[in-house]
Amino acid sequence: MNRIDGRKLDQLRPVKITTGFVDYAEGSVLIECGHTKVLCCASVEQGAPRHVPEGTGWVTAEYSMLPRANRERSRRDISKLKLSPRSAEIQRLIGRSLRAAVDMEALGDYTITIDCDVLQGDGGTRTASVTGGFIALALACRKMVAEGWITENPIRRCVAAVSAGIVGDAPMLDLCYEEDSHAMVDLNCIMDEEGRLIEIQGTGEGRSFTIEEQQELVSLCAGGIRQLIAKQKEILGGCL
């Protein structure tokens, strides 16, 4: 089956990552996956939420799409006086994923918030947010160590994410919007550098799917995530 952009079924879209995109954030990254572009900024604040054990830190995330990130203008969440259910679900996913990378005791009494703002959406915005958000988080943690806020780097492992899906009858990696909108099955996968799963979100959009099909999609994602983590390490000179 020929893909819209000529890629192989198991091929990622071109990935470009620009660090230091914002001057003021403790860590910032512009990640581009094909035509999807997400700005990820990590901000460090003293103190942790009350539900967190004393002496440990916290990592959380916020996610939003700019009004013209898509083909038609969408209203800002603030204009509706509440966060959209989609944005709320995605930012919880990003937060869970990035917390899996961090030793909260080593982070100490700090909260790191990763703001993920979609500048342009063409599929895979949540997975790009996790992959780029991890780099922003790692940069912020390095700055905390360098400036003496904490004594050791709390990052323990790299984390990245990608999507896969079944379009027609063909399993394929890293769906663009056009592919995603016609997918029979859509799956998002988050893994760490040791190949362990952090989260899977799989949905039968057009039909149900088998365990074997799920495993094939996860295997596709695992191959893509290995490439993304290699790129993270290349940019960071290793994750720690």
**pLDDT string in tens for the chain (240-residue length):** 679 899 999 999 999 999 999 999 999 999 999 999 999 999 999 999 999 998 899 999 999 988 777 777 777 776 565 678 888 999 999 999 999 999 999 999 999 999 999 999 999 999 999 999 999 999 999 999 999 999 999 999 999 999 999 999 999 999 999 999 999 999 999 999 999 999 999 999 999 999 999 999 999 999 999 999 999 999 999 777
- Please state, as a whole number, how many other Cβ atoms lie within 10 Å of the Cβ of residue 157: 16
Both structure tokens of 106: 């080593």
**Architecture of 15-236 per CATH?**
2-Layer Sandwich (3.30)
Give the pLDDT of residue 86: 85
Q: Which residues pair with 111 in a beta bridge?
A: 45, 58
Give the pLDDT of residue 82: 67
Residue-wise pLDDT tens digits, 146-181: 999 999 999 999 999 999 999 999 999 999 999 999
Give the pLDDT of residue 79: 56
Give the pLDDT of residue 231: 98
Give the pLDDT of residue 73: 79
C-alpha span between 133 and 117 (Å, rounded): 10
pTM of the model: 0.94
Q: What is the bridge-based pairing of β-strands 110-120 and 159-167?
A: unpaired
Cα dihedral value 13, 34, 200, 220, nearest 10:
-10
Give the pLDDT of residue 124: 96
C-alpha span between 42 and 60 (Å, rounded): 10
Delimit the domains of the chain by residue range: 15-236
| Amino acid (one-letter) located at 145 | V
Residue-wise pLDDT tens digits, 65-83: 887 777 777 777 765 656 7
